[in-house]
Structure 1
């Protein structure tokens, strides 16, 4: 999902080359050593092209993440038919990624705070119908707080808010933290 842009029209082949270069370099050197200079060289574009479309590496990395180019498949919400187990597995994975890629997560939060379109894109990606709130909608009636009329969008936001707060505090997740968070937001499992 490309974020909306204003200003000069972008060349789609250049945009794709930049995103692919960013993802490849991220995989090779990690977020801390990722540079606009390196991305420009790998993509075969000038640094000014990147800076014209993305003000810094944070929004560029956010767009890569939103388009599924970073951490491919690692942040996907599983769908085994058991929404609670799927959410617990997803949260556990998210916590692990946050610990391994702490600078990336903090950069995404900073990019979202600085660029409203990045924040909107991340929010839609995480709480949209194809993600958490959509899965909660499908599970209505299966969990204490998922009764007809449940505010699944708000429940999804509560889960994401707790994840963001943990990232900001840099507090490592314990082995049962995902389950405790789900109990707090969705209610304790029944039966």
Structure 2
């Protein structure tokens, strides 16, 4: 499963791990309390991976595409990285699987502290609609990721503050129910 930890508040390069000292790991159970789920897939044979087929069927992920984030493949690379790293939410779940390379998703816990989630080859992560988050590459500066969606893809980020959206209200309510 994915590795996750609480982040320091350093202004150093966003692509560094930013682990607190001493390290404060975050468990899969703690991520699940925030609605974040993770799975391990066969990234080299994802088209035939029965676990991916099961996940897609159970959650009705009907649309899939692949994005490669690297300075040689993504137009407006530096600008896109800045946009991805702005704290935002989506009105739909965000589902990503690293097919190659690596990166970080950062999410807020219930006390608004940042948790960094390392996404490595074969890791699939789902972030619930309404959770504030951001994404950055790590120091390898490369990820090839599969994106899954229910129905037609929607990539619209709503930068914080975006608390008036129904997705945010539902997300906060789900956190209260889990408590």
TM-score, normalization by structure 2: 0.27
Higher relative contact order (CA closer than 8 Å, sequence separation 6+): 2
Q: Higher strand fraction: Structure 1 or Structure 2?
A: 2
TM-score, normalization by structure 1: 0.25
Q: Higher helix fraction: Structure 1 or Structure 2?
A: 1
Highest Rg: 1 or 2?
1
